[in-house]
């Protein structure tokens, strides 16, 4: 039985790099060298300069490619470095179709950087295939998907968008940050490129900033490798080691956090202070059945709507367990305010169009006891009318 025959739960721990062949150490060695001695003038070794390749980074990239059922992965210095590098596969005159309520950093790069390079874009509700179809132009080269989307948790029909892209000769890119390969493996659904902010659930401990991109096509791998080396936004060896460490517990963390998120989402739907809950694990969610058909769970992130900014302020100042911070996907629960955090780069009118109101809070559920989290939220909600 090869390691590829194991479940992803087992493969997160048992893979080619689970031990160091030189010493038997049950951990990947950290190699900090910036350059590598060459024995031969005419033929260099596997590594020459650390921007182009590093043994610790190679171990992470090889391991993660296998987890996504891809052939090649690339580790970057942040999630935005991964996304930006992939977007730089586009050229002046090309057109990008992109999820409308995409992460704020991706929105900023699309609207303020790609436009300077003559790359056009159209934001579209990716849950509506006909709208995506109408958005495609003769010069459309890429469709960028985020599912579930951040922060309103829309679920995109991956198979339908991929089929549409193939009909029109477009690449598909999917941001899989919220789900990780534990819950969703887009390459298996014929997506071309998968990107992650590995800072989140993959690292999982709020102690490393990283990004990953994965492909299963040799030509795409060559293009991204060239861009990774050209831009140089690589992940350093110490951070690669931290991501490798985080991988070992990712399945357990995702399983426990997702279960708690499900119960907290159900509880939130019953609270009079909450007007709406966005979570694909709820049967009332428009993407509930679709998510079940393309993912192995709804994940550990949810959003909920309070009356207004004043209500948000009271809750944020009253909660004791979740940290109030930018980011998500950590062992500690993180409460975020998209209007001033993840989507601050969006102008207010653009946020409003996407349902990112001043009363919206996003909760990334961590590993605390769910009853404790619910009690904490309950006492915070009691402050709204006080």
**Hey, which residues are catalytic here?**
51, 103, 175, 200
Per the CB < 8 A criterion, the answer to whether 73 and 62 are in contact is: yes
Sheet with 360-364, side-by-side order of all strands: 276-278, 301-305, 360-364, 334-336, 323-324
C-alpha 76, offset from chain centre? 13
């Amino acid at each position: 039985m090869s390691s590829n025959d194991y479940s992803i739960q087992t493969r997160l721990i048992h893979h080619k790099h689970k031990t160091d062949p030189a010493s038997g150490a049950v951990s990947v060695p950290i190699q900090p060298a910036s350059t590598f001695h060459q024995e031969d003038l005419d033929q260099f070794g596997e590594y020459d300069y650390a921007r182009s390749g590093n043994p610790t980074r190679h171990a992470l990239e090889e391991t993660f490619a296998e987890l996504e059922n891809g052939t090649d992965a690339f580790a970057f210095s942040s999630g935005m470095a991964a996304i930006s590098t992939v977007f730089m596969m586009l050229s002046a005159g090309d057109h990008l179709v992109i999820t409308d309520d995409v992460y704020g950093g991706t929105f900023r790069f699309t609207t303020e950087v790609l436009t300077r390079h003559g790359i056009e874009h159209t934001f579209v509700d990716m849950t509506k295939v006909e709208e995506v179809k109408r958005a495609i132009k003769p010069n459309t080269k890429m469709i960028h998907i985020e599912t579930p989307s951040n922060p309103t948790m829309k679920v995109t029909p991956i198979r339908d968008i991929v089929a549409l892209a193939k009909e029109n000769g477009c690449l598909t890119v999917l941001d899989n940050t919220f789900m990780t390969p534990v819950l969703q493996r887009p390459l298996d659904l014929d997506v071309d490129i998968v990107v992650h902010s590995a800072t989140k659930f993959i690292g999982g401990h709020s102690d490393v900033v990283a990004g990953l991109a994965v492909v299963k096509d040799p030509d795409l791998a060559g293009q991204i490798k060239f861009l990774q080396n050209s831009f140089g936004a690589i992940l350093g060896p110490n951070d690669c080691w931290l991501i490798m460490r985080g991988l070992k517990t990712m399945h357990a963390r995702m399983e426990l956090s997702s279960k708690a998120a499900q119960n907290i989402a159900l509880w939130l739907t019953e609270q009079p202070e909450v007007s709406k809950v966005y979570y694909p694990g709820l049967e009332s969610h428009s993407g509930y059945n679709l998510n079940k058909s393309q993912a192995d769970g709804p994940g550990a992130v949810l959003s909920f709507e309070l009356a207004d900014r004043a209500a948000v302020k009271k809750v944020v100042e009253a909660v004791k367990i979740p940290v109030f911070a930018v980011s998500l996907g950590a062992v500690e629960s993180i409460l975020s305010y998209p209007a001033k955090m993840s989507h601050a780069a969006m102008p207010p009118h653009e946020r409003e169009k996407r349902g990112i109101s001043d009363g919206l809070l996003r909760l990334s559920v961590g590993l605390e006891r769910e009853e404790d989290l619910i009690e904490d939220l309950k006492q915070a909600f009691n402050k709204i009318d006080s």
